[in-house]
Chains A and B, each alone.
Chain A
Amino acid sequence: MRLRPSADLIALISDGLYADKGLDSADMTAALADLEIIEGKLLAAVDEMGVVLARTSMSPVIYEVLDFACGICDANGELIAQSNGLTLFTGTFSAQVRFISRKFAGRIRPGDAFITNDPFEGGTHSCDMAVVQPIFVDNEIIAYSISVAHWLDVGGAIPGSLPPDAVDTFQEGLRLPGMRLCENGELLPEIADLIRVNVRLPLLALGDLNAELAATRIGERRLAAICGRYGAVAVKNVFESILSLSERRCRNAVALLPDGVYEATDVIDGDGVSDEQIPVCVAVKIDGDQVSVDFTGSAPARGGPINCSRGALLSAVKTVFKALVAPHAPSNDGWFRPLEIEIPGGTVFSAESPSPVGWYYEGSSQASELVWKALAPLASNRFSAGSYMSLCATYLYGQRPDSDDLFVHIEPQHGGWGATESRDGASALIASTDGDTFNYSVELLEAILPLRVREYSLNVGDGSGAGRHRGGFGVVREYEILTDAAYLHGSLGRSQERPWSVGGGTQGSVNYVDVTSASGSKRIARIKQMALAQGDTVRICTGGGGGWGDPSERPIEAVESDVVNGYIAVEDAVADYGLDPTRLSSVV
């Protein structure tokens, strides 16, 4: 008789005491194997949800850039398994599921699905639309499947729904504060109508809604099949054991770190309305196997959209915490049980309605980097020096030259990451807030948009932080506009304060956009809506990461190789690393 994982068994595993309890060892071995088998099935299910969403979506930002994530939460809303997607969504799943289950308590039936994008109820900003589907086994909710994806437009003041100079959340598009989306498996026509009349690209929006529903439905089918085979009780027990085992691993990892309070300060370069630098700070306290992260002292919420709400802040901190304790293990909420976050309401990291939060990832990425900066010296095997940090997202939109149709092109940019203790920083990698996020193929983009890419290269011109290991390089992406009615807006952080360095390295370089038109050239970072004409160019430049260690310790062969490959200029090699220029004749 094989034993299925039971709550008792899980407690024993968690305590490491099973050998003393007289439990039949053969049963124990079988139960452990079942645990791993069911966990594997759950991961396969969420991965498949992601594949279905990407393959059926109609928005390039989803199918090409992969700006989405999927997950399965247990009946209490705790995240059990997540697809590879964006880090900044995975921390929001449980809050969104709990919001739905609380709001509709007693009124959730098989065949239902719900939709929410409320930034102040666990969400991020109104463009990130979450679909939540309850999974019933024997008339009981055993879990929820959830998908969250970035819609190209949800209405509001401007196409793309993210006015970079919004002063309140009402300018940022349609807010769906937890609504019933499906009954008996059918999409409710009223809500489809509500969406259709409130957004600028209804076909894309409804297409993506279908794709998200397909993903949650796949999650439901797979979980139901797993319950069919192993029984709902066993699956519920596996949920709890996944959470408690992760918690135990997390506590073990934290306990190995020296107790203490680790602090960092930083500034946010402008809020979209004003360019003024905004001070923020953190104190991370490690006490035994418990961690608390306190943002008290950070600036009050701004009348510009770089604020983030508490839900986004949680995600931001969880990302870095996971990087600290177990970067490669599958993520679930068990890892975060030892983590506490303290922050008063109404700050730039804990904005409340109706503060604008459209560009929340500018705020939340600063929160991530603060924790990262505080912990980098403590866990040099986990962290790098400072990165370009900001997603440097830009919107190009307007009218197609051959029709009246609107086009909208949202693009996060990749950039330079900081060096680490053991090697040079990564070049052209997506910021920590995103994850399995692709750049746009130039060929694909030119085939569907009135834009030409004139250059896509490493931004070696602006350089990166020098050090024993140098920072990675950002990118240069230059667009030529091929229509007479186009607009640009966007929001780039780290445009004044350069990426930080560690242990004697130098700082990295900043992010900016150069817009060139017949009337001249202009360098900008938090970009309010700006009209462009045929032939104008938009040159987006992302920064290089900070250096690690004293540059004088960098092996001269590495410096020479960088010169030969054009990563650094000869004069910089001489100035930063003391390269003897006469040596170069032998290598160039």
Chain B
Amino acid sequence: MSERSGRLATDVGGTFTDLVYLDETSGELEVAKVLTTPADPAIGVMDVIRAAKIDPHSVAFFIHGGTTVINAITERKGARTALVTTAGFRDVLEIGRGNRPDLYNLQFRSPESFVPRHLRFEVRERLDASGNVVRPLELDDVEKAAEACKVAGVEAVAVAFLHAYREPKHERAAAAQLRAALPGVAVTASHEITREWREYERTNTAVLNAYVQPLMAGYLSRLGDLARDAGIECELNAMQSNVGSTNFERAKTHPITLVESGPAGGVSGAAYLGRQCDAPNIIYFDVGGTTAKCSLIEGGVAKLDSEYRLGLTRLWPGYPIKVPVVDIVEVGAGGGSIARLDDAGMIRVGPQSAGADPGPACYARGGELPTVTDAKLITGVLDARTFSGGLFELDETRARDAMQSLAEPLGRTVEETALAVNRIAEADMVNALKLITVQRGHDSRDFTLLACGGGGPMHAGALAREVGVREILIPRHAGIFSAWGMLATPPRRDIALTTLATIDALKMSDIRNVFEKMIREAKEYFDLEQKLGKALAVSTKLAMRYQGQEHSVVTDVDLDTQDIDDILQGFHRAHERAFTFRLNDSPVELVTYHLAAEVEAPMPPIAPPVLATGAKDNAVRGQRSVWFDESGPRDATIYSRERLAQGIELQGPAVVEENTTTTLVLPGQRLWVDQWGLLRIRED
């Protein structure tokens, strides 16, 4: 039997299931990719493990992420779910917040709720805003709801009572009774997932957790069994949206924490990579088939969004989920995004995507509409033969035919049109990048743009120039970076506690006491007795505001060195940076304590055990014509990334090809290979 020294990450995406396997003894990295098996993604995961030809017995660490939860929600494939709620309030879930962000659409409707009205049961109980009992819980009503659930064949139940964020005892009692009365039915009480106020948001969170729970419990159990049968014996972990991991058992009861599991892997990897190679401030940028995603990492720490709404757009309110989710801005511009002319004859790109099926026109799988990938092929950025490491060849004729359908009405050449499609797709990406940087008070020149996903390294050069960043960094295996990032993800627990107090009324010891209680709670969660010798790293933050405001500003607090005045001054500064003003004379309130606790875990090395050697010329694959702008094509040198040795420098125009992505170096940009084998690009 082999020694257990391997770390294995698998990432189930919409199209592909990716694998990264690190042999800790040799430092070698194995990667593999297979098609996702939507009917039961566990099969695809086992396929990719077989494809990688790794020895399952050698796996010492197993982490798994992907889009299973978010797909179940967006495709409405979850369980038959009921809601048990405070009498008088069963319609809160359907009413939502009643807003119409699509202002001029007089046929607008709110998002449809995930529990039909006849499965929303009211029970008599009531607390006030301080948590005092106004009306005791009527257990008979809970009993009746349980009976009705049985008759209706309900598979999951959410319990959400008013003010349970403050005092959960009624929810706890009702949930206990429902669990006893409904064996085999998944029960989620809202306070178990979030302790923040606003009844619609917390109710919806509980409902969505319940909705995906049977499916995820089944899926993770099945995957666990298959992994065990195959010989994987270590603990099984799931990638959470909070850029941390949890084990399968806890994920089965809190599956909603996995909602942005895939992207969180990438952000986690980016934060770790940045910490290791002197780039603590990173703009994470991932271009996939249908979207581009970006996220900001400052001081080596990923940012979390406490106001996450699934599917939110400028015109659509989305579904609020009150768990910490990595702060990702997503735009509908990816490789498969379709370009078209609008009714005023302007080119528009996305959000419709050709996806992987039928895919871009150049895939020759039935797609006839021009996409960003077709534009990249026409402009010479992609090579028809080397794309995807030669897995399949692209069809340039089909790409040109598709682009011609836009070029003709515009009176443009195919190449000019393709350039315009690229630039418009990139404009969307630029807006997303600006949204997470300058629009939140950050100077993008302090940041490194880490580009990943199949498309990220193709666009990075132009975007970096437009946004203005310090440099570009292309990690190894950029096309499967999310899976790699999962290997760099420690177990993590986030706890937030809302309690309102003015700062003046608090002593530093009060704040310390609250955090210490939260740290104890985190230790219990990880059951640290079982993990002797593993340290808990905590980060502490406070959400504060000026009295009278509702929204707060979150700042770091150092319990050891800071006093109350330091905290106060830090808040004034943060407020001014974000919102242009400070109110020195206004009382300041502390609203929420935030604790993030991580268990120490081994991290993957960032450099391969053996770096490439040899002269630059050894890495040259040839030359081709690439259109960088409207002035016409230029000859660019094509390099093979595997052969680029440490320390090599090259000038744009150039293209660096590898199996999972293609990096474009613009004229006027310089690329070099750093000591870890990472590609770095700067303006000359």
Would A218 and B580 count as touching, CB distance under 8 A? yes
Residues of B within 8 A of A32 (CB): 346-347, 420
Q: Is there contact, CB below 8 Å, between B551 and A249? A: no
Stretch among B104-112, B236-244, B269-277, B557-565 lining the A interface = B104-112
6 contacts between A and B (CB under 8 A): A36-B347, A323-B106, A328-B315, A427-B95, A456-B89, A457-B90
Q: Is the CB of A435 within 8 A of B630?
A: no
Number of A-B contacts (CB under 8 A): 232
Complex Cα distance A136/B39, Å? 59
Does A287 have its Cβ within 8 Å of any Cβ on chain B? no
Q: Does B428 contact A (CB under 8 A)?
A: yes
Q: How far is the CB of A561 from chain B (nearest CB, A)?
A: 9
Q: Would you call A447 and B129 a contact (CB within 8 A)?
A: yes
Closest to B550 in A: A63
B434 touches A84 (CB 8 A): no
* Chain B residues with CB below 8 A from A210, complex form: 581, 583
The digit string for A10-32, where 1 denotes a CB below 8 A from any CB of B, is 00010010110000011111101
Contact of A564 among B98, B105, B118, B579 (CB under 8 A): B118
Assuming the A-B contacts A36-B427, A47-B314, A429-B98, are A214 and B197 also in contact, with contact meaning beta carbons closer than 8 angstroms in the complex?
Answer: no
Is B101's beta carbon under 8 Å from chain A? yes
Q: Is B675 an interface residue (CB 8 A)?
A: no
> What secondary structure prevails in chain A residues at the interface with B?
helix
**Chain B proximity of A86: nearest CB distance (Å):** 8
In Å, the complex CA distance between A331 and B101 comes to 13
In A423-439, the 8 Å CB interface with B consists of 423, 426-430, 432, 434-439
A138 at the B interface (CB under 8 A): no
Complex CA distance for A414 and B91, rounded to whole angstroms: 13
Q: Which A residues form the contact surface with B (CB < 8 A)? A: 2, 13, 16, 18-19, 25-30, 32-33, 35-37, 40-41, 43-44, 47-48, 52, 54-58, 60, 63-64, 66, 84, 87, 90, 203-204, 207, 210, 213-214, 217-218, 221-222, 225, 245, 248-249, 252, 319-320, 322-323, 326-328, 331, 372, 382-384, 414, 417, 420, 422-423, 426-430, 432, 434-439, 441-444, 446-447, 452-458, 472, 475, 478, 564-567
User: In the assembly, what is the distance between CA of A514 and CA of B110, in Å?
Assistant: 27
Q: CB distance A323 to B105 under 8 Å?
A: yes
Indicate if the CB atoms of A565 and B117 lie closer than 8 Å: yes
A26 and B631 form a contact (CB under 8 A): yes
Contact of A214 among B92, B435, B579 (CB under 8 A): B579
Q: Which residue of chain A has the shortest Cβ distance to B420 in the bound complex?
A: A29
Set of chain A residues within 8 Å of B345, measured between Cβ atoms:
13, 16
From B100, B546, B629, give the contact of A435 (CB < 8 A).
B100
Closest to A210 in B: B581
Question: Is B616 an interface residue when CB atoms closer than 8 A count as contact?
Answer: no
Q: How far is the CA of A19 from the CA of B583 in the complex (A)?
A: 56
Report yes or no: A44 in contact with B579, Cβ–Cβ below 8 A. Answer: no
B411 at the interface (CB under 8 A from A): yes
Contact between A383 and B579, CB atoms less than 8 A apart = no
Smallest Cβ-Cβ distance to A20: which chain B residue = B411
Contact in complex: A443, B162 (CB < 8 Å): yes
Report Cα–Cα, A33/B348, bound state, in Å: 10
| CB closest chain-A residue, reference B415 | A26
Mark out the residues of chain B between 482 and 502 whose CB falls within 8 Å of any chain A CB in the assembled complex. none
CA of A441 to CA of B92 in the docked complex: distance in angstroms?
A: 10
- Contact of A444 with B197 in the complex, beta carbons under 8 Å: yes
Q: How far is the CA of A90 from the CA of B199 in the complex (A)?
A: 31
Whole-angstrom distance between the alpha carbons of A32 and B347 in the complex?
Answer: 8
B92 to A456, Cβ gap below 8 A? yes
Most buried by B among A29, A30, A63, A372: A29
Q: A441 is contacted by which of B200, B580, B583 (Cβ under 8 Å)? A: B200
Contact assessment for B551 and A331 in the assembled complex, using a CB-CB cutoff below 8 Å: no
Task: Choose among A26, A64, A447, A478 the residue that contacts B630 (Cβ–Cβ < 8 A).
Answer: A26
Given A432-B106, A435-B99, A565-B117: A19 and B411 interface contact (C-beta under 8 Å): yes
Question: A437 and B100: CB pair below 8 A?
Answer: yes
B412 touching A29 by the CB < 8 A rule? yes
A25 adjacent to B411 (CB under 8 Å): yes
Contact A37 to B430, CB < 8 A, known contacts A55-B551, A443-B162: yes
